Amino acid sequence: MTERLVVVGGDAAGMSAATNARRGRGPDELAIVAFERGTTPSYSACGIPYWIGGVVADRERLVVRTPAEFAEKHDIEVRVRHEVIDIDCHRGDLTVRDLETGAEREEPFDQLVIATGAVPRRPELRGADAEGILGVQTLDDGEAIRLELERKPTNVVVVGAGYIGLEMAEALTLRGFEVTLLERSPQPMPTLDPDMGALVSDALRKVGVTVECGVEVRGFDVSGRRVSAIETANASYPADLVILGLGVTPNVGLARDAGVAIGPSGGIATDGRMRTDVENVWAAGDCVESHHRVSHRPVSIALGTHANKQGRVAGINIGGGYATFPGVIGTAVTKVCSAEVARTGLSEREAADAGFVTVSAVIDSRTRAGYYPGSTPLKVKAIAERSTGRLLGAQIVGEEGVAKRIDVFATAIWNEMTAEEMLNLDLSYAPPVAPTWDPVLVAAKKVAEKVESDRGPVASAP
């Protein structure tokens, strides 16, 4: 008898689960249908700011596979503009609404993957539902922003200086708009430590972005139905277009209403195989919580890398194989104007919250041999546990070579290496790409020296 797998959400996690399940089980054994409420499945959400900024010329360049390609190559049916509005796990069916016609119908399932992703945070403030206030999460959101830009707004304000907020500030500046960036924290990218975040502010200001940190939005002024200004405790900022970069929240409403357990981080709770607490119901992507391998706490981190891997694990298991997702350490990188910015593991604040006593070192180095043309500055921060020297986190800001170097730290942290062990790694060297002592090794050396000099009777990490 043919089983039926239904996937709710047609982007990275959902379609990775579907295609991996298909590899394990043919269409005679497993029928697969995916419901996607947007107009496009399987696309690069991370590329949206670059499309808005004109770096990527065509929306279609961000699309990985179309519904027709999924049908032809994988025997997977993808129904776009179909929104799942209710799941009944006991009956094994769900209610789907066709967003073009409004018609609703019941769809049965034997196996279910919930891959509903995340939704942009919207402040619960006066005027927050006005026209001209937009989030950035889907290709359709990107299309809406591009249409707004055709109105030639005079005052563009980005609220929130996380990854999306920063990338959108740069994208809009590239398009020639005057941009003001408002951030509640003392510096952009609150996931960085303040000394590293200050470098991001410098990069933004160099290209003309007005950066205002330590600013809390109190409300939005509305003229007619459109936003006209943003009110803070001490000032008013004119705004005829507002982009929200306040981060995202796991989209778990469907799962919660269906009786699926939600974890303490706010994401759907799963085991290592991506199974929920409901039989035959799986979850993957930005809607789930993950185990952090350093803090040993549940976390919700919305990254496409995690989503693809979690979808792969769910699909392999549904397809009859065996796979587990071992957790995350929060490795991420972005480009903000001339600066590449990356982090992995825990910041000093996060490490302290997790109960670690830490030492850290910040070093200034160069991306290439000093005598080789084109060498640029690089700042590296390494964080280690004081009592053991185990690496806990790292942050890097520079103009080039940042991603390669943060990945070295990520590998070391993933494998619970100490700073002393890392500084002896046999890394590649050639004058055009690195100094003799790569900056990551210099940072490891400095923090290892601090561990040695600061050793004392302190509590161990939990």
46 catalytically annotated: yes
Q: What would the two tokens of residue 134 be?
A: 């937009």
The CA distance from 144 to 128, in Å, is: 17
The CA distance from 199 to 342, in Å, is: 12
Q: What would the two tokens of residue 85 be?
A: 């509005």
Q: Going by C-beta distance under 8 Å and a sequence separation of 6 or more, which residues neighbour residue 200?
A: 161, 166, 187, 188, 189, 192, 336, 339, 341, 397
The CA distance from 82 to 73, in Å, is: 22
Return the H-helix or E-strand segment holding 218: strand 217-223
Q: Going by C-beta distance under 8 Å and a sequence separation of 6 or more, which residues neighbour residue 349?
A: 193
Of 46, 213, 287, 337, the catalytic one is 46
Q: What are the backbone dihedrals phi and psi of residue 35, each rounded to the nearest 5 degrees, phi first?
A: -110, 125
Q: Name the DSSP letter for residue 46.
A: G
**Facing residues of 43 across strands?**
63
Nearest to 288 by CA among 83, 117, 35, 112: 117
Nearest to 248 by CA among 264, 235, 266: 266
Q: What would the two tokens of residue 124 be?
A: 């619960």
**What's the angle, vertex CA 98, arms to CA 96 and CA 102, rounded to 5?**
110
Taking the alpha carbons of 307, 313, 315, 318 in that order, is the dihedral positive or negative? negative
Are the C-beta atoms of residues 427 and 457 closer than 8 Å to each other? no
| Residues that are catalytic | 46
